[in-house]
């Protein structure tokens, strides 16, 4: 399926979800749920979401195999620009933007940057699955959610196995790549081998061969857990503001389902798809449909609002100079 077909499918799914939700909701009760919400917990959720993104930026820095590593604040800016692009554009365009920004800043590292983002996604999936299966121990989840969790688990297991294989046996990976490139793309042999080597090196950053790598891997996992915990607490505050109980457990499942569901094609900001998945995630606690939709709309507004505001602030502050540009400026100053 082409990218254009996936894009059309995503917009179609979003339109269908929005239409189904709009036809089913009782609008007076939906508006009443909003007017009756406690706004202080919603406001308190905002700094927790910001903290989440700060922790994710620190984790991204650990996962990068580029030396010297960019400053954490610079990566935070790139991260927020990526989130802003995901809000405005389909197909998770923000991930590609982060790679481009890092390439321009460092002068190299497309494969390494892309690999670090891939590792981020893998760690996120594992963390979200752990959250969801923890909730499954205490609640009777709908079959739709369980099927999705099982499918995501299979994909995650395969991905973890591939990463471990590449990191533990890089010679085999390079030999396979060399054989394939020589047979099917001899003209591209040298660049393909170079990119493959960068990819294997990037994967090796988090493979605990020694104490340094083990500490870095442990720190990356800890930062991811802290980030998702902060985000789940923010969502729990949003649920509590509407009186939904149990707010902590329900928030864990809401976070897991909506973020794992980001793999489903949708319009920018996952409008419609996010809301439908969020309502489904709250169904084990028999939350009234209109209230569930109000809660999910609030959590989506808080998250997207933070992404847009921080992304626009980054744009307003201007693009930081790349290392190449800074080196050129220093050289000109000395001459």
Query: What residues does each domain of the chain span?
Result: 28-318
What does the pLDDT read at residue 64? 87
What does the pLDDT read at residue 208? 62
What does the pLDDT read at residue 333? 39
Interacting residues of 247 by C-beta distance below 8 A, sequence separation 6+: 236, 237, 239, 240
Residue pair 138/249 in contact by the 8 Å Cβ criterion = yes
List average pLDDT for each run of 10 residues in the chain, which is 335 residues long.
82 95 95 94 97 97 86 96 93 89 81 84 94 91 92 91 77 76 72 68 67 84 97 97 94 96 89 96 95 97 97 84 44 40
Interacting residues of 325 by C-beta distance below 8 A, sequence separation 6+: none
**Which of 283, 287, 286, 221 is CA-nearest to residue 253?**
283
Phi-psi category of residue 67: left, alpha or beta, with phi > 0 → left and psi -120 to 50 → alpha = beta
Which pTM was predicted?
A: 0.88
Cβ-based burial of 243 (10 A; exposed 0-12, middle 13-18, buried ≥19)? middle
What does the pLDDT read at residue 335? 37
């Amino acid at each position: 399926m082409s990218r254009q077909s996936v894009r059309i499918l995503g917009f179609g799914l979003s339109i269908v979800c929005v239409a189904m939700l709009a036809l089913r909701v009782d609008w007076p009760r939906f508006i009443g749920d909003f007017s009756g919400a406690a706004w202080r917990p919603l406001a308190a959720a905002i700094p927790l979401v910001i903290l989440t993104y700060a922790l994710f930026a620190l984790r991204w820095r650990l996962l990068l195999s580029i030396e010297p590593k960019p400053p954490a604040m610079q990566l935070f800016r790139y991260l927020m620009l990526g989130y802003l692009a995901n809000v405005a554009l389909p197909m998770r365009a923000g991930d590609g933007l982060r790679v481009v920004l890092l390439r321009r800043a460092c002068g190299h590292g497309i494969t390494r940057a892309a690999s670090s983002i891939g590792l981020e996604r893998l760690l996120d999936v594992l963390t979200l699955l752990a959250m969801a299966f923890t909730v499954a121990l205490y609640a009777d989840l709908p079959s739709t959610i369980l099927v999705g969790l099982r499918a995501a688990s299979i994909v995650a297991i395969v991905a973890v196995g591939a990463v471990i294989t590449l990191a533990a046996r890089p010679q085999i990976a390079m030999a396979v790549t060399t054989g394939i490139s020589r047979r099917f793309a001899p003209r591209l042999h040298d660049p393909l081998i170079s990119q493959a080597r960068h990819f294997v090196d990037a994967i090796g950053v988090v493979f605990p061969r020694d104490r340094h790598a083990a500490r870095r891997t442990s720190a990356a996992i800890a930062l991811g857990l802290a980030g998702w915990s902060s985000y789940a607490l923010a969502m729990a505050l949003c649920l509590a503001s509407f009186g939904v109980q149990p707010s902590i457990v329900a928030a864990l499942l809401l976070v897991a389902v909506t973020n794992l569901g980001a793999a489903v094609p949708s319009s920018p900001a996952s409008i419609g798809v996010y809301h439908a998945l969020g309502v489904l995630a709250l169904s084990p606690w028999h939350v009234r449909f209109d209230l569930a939709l109000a809660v999910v709309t609030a959590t989506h507004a808080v998250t997207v609002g933070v992404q847009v505001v921080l992304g626009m602030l980054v744009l307003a502050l201007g693009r930081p100079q790349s290392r190449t540009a800074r080196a050129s400026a220093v050289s000109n100053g000395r001459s």
